[in-house]
Structure 1
């Protein structure tokens, strides 16, 4: 994670949406669900103001969600981070479990890719010969 730039100007919700790829609606949802590690600051008028640390955290959340981490696990991870030092072993267990789940998904996808590559080869070979014989034909 990047270091916090305390001199940086606070960011609007729109700017954070642009930097993270999350919609404004998703950012509000993340805040409501307790997925952020710190409270979002507000202007006197009630507008949200984010820090670079908020953006850094949200970018991690985007990657974890993009790999299918359940919201409950992400919420627990955020809770642990909010509580500060002393729970690193639990954080590690949570991330390790997720990593194992992702590795299993990658293995499954690699098996699927292998079947698809084989089938692409079969079709390419038949098309190169201009012969569809031997391909599945439901009209036969």
Structure 2
């Protein structure tokens, strides 16, 4: 296998893993509660469902009750997988960083910092007041 084929295969694999991690993390983050420093949470999900599906008040109350029942289970699952998720994300970022030029590495670090800042701002805006 030539170097260019190996590099292309590695980049394709990195893109696939990044997509999978983003998908899994996105689903987990989508369902997390704002009271624990998380984005969206059940109230955000309920608002989106209510708007997108045009829920009636009765449906909205039913879906709200369902979300409250499942929230502890979702939180428990996230607590179990979060350390693994963080480890894989760190490995992924390190592998991507190794493929970049020094200038790209600086820009990548800036991009990651902006993402972290947005996440922190979103989490603090969802904190209970």
Higher helix share: 2
When normalised by structure 1's length, the TM-score is 0.24
Point out which structure has higher relative CO (alpha carbons under 8 A, 6+ apart).
2
Higher Cα Rg, which structure: 1
